[in-house]
Amino acid sequence: MKTLAVLFLFFATAGHAASATQNPVRRYFSRVPIERAHITIGNAQASELENSDLQILVWNVKKGVKENFHSELVKYGTGKDLFLIQEAYTADFFQESLAYFGNYQWDLGISFTYRLYNNDGTGNMIGSWVRPSWVKVEHTLDYEPVTETPKTTTYAKFRVSGKERELLVVSVHGINFLGLGAFERHVDQIKTNMMGHQGPVIFAGDFNTRTKRRYQEVVEMARDLDLTEVGFVNGELRMRSFGTSNILDHAFIRGFKINHAEVFQSQGSDHKPMTLDLTFL
């Protein structure tokens, strides 16, 4: 994939037109119709989360292509109740890493597939040892330039033992190489989906908040939805945007007490794994 990354960078910096007839990079990527964008891997047996401490891993894993990905996924993922994974991948080696976790279900929203790599897909994933009661996959209205592919937001709801209201989990990978207008549309799209939910919320991932204005858009949305931003131990280790040094990865919650939240050093991805220890209120 290094060749494709170089081609992407070349045409992005050159401001190449997005027409399929003019864009030699476009032919390497296939968009997936939204009705075929949701796939499920694995089969969780449990139907409810326990009404106690909740352990969560949030991580943009760069498709698991780095050498230490598997060992770090096992290290930071063992014992977790929920996974919010950006740039998940359908390739066999990636699914072999997921299989380590046994009776977990992984709901993946595919953004696009790689024509040169067995048509394997990549996108945004939520995993748990509990079956979600509801899953929704949504593509952004705008497409990234050059590749002409959307970002995907994955939503899931989980029943919680002894609670009337379900937990809403939202794994986000923000639209990136476009202007503020496209980012605002993505934020508004997510907000629309979350507005009617009255129960607890975990909203986290790679927001691609590479400018202060983008970050402010997310903060304003969180305020409107009564969400609290999570402060991480070693939060300065989080991935930063090239050029602006703005932090890209965040987590917002509602209906929880924060026991501990930490960011870890990583060789398994360019982004750092973020872990959360929460208790339902």
Cβ proximity of 259 and 34 under 8 Å: no
Q: Which helix (H) or strand (E) segment is 185 a member of?
A: helix 180-194
Report the distance separating Cα 108 and Cα 153, nearest Å: 10
- Residue 188: the pLDDT is 98
* SS3 category, 197: coil
CATH number at residue 23: 3.60.10.10
Residue 24: per-residue pLDDT:
76
pLDDT 10s digit of each residue in the chain, 281 long?
544 444 444 434 333 333 445 677 788 999 999 999 999 999 999 999 999 999 999 999 999 999 999 999 999 999 999 999 999 999 999 999 999 999 999 999 999 999 988 999 999 999 999 999 999 999 999 999 989 999 999 999 999 999 999 999 999 999 999 999 999 999 999 999 999 999 999 999 999 999 999 999 999 999 999 999 999 999 999 999 988 999 999 999 999 999 999 999 999 999 999 999 999 99
Domain count, the chain: 1
Residue 90: give the domain boundaries: 2-280
- The predicted pLDDT at position 22 comes to 65
Q: Where are the alpha helices (DSSP H) in the chain?
A: 2-14, 69-77, 92-99, 180-194, 212-224
User: Is residue 238 within 8 Å of 251, Cβ to Cβ?
Assistant: no
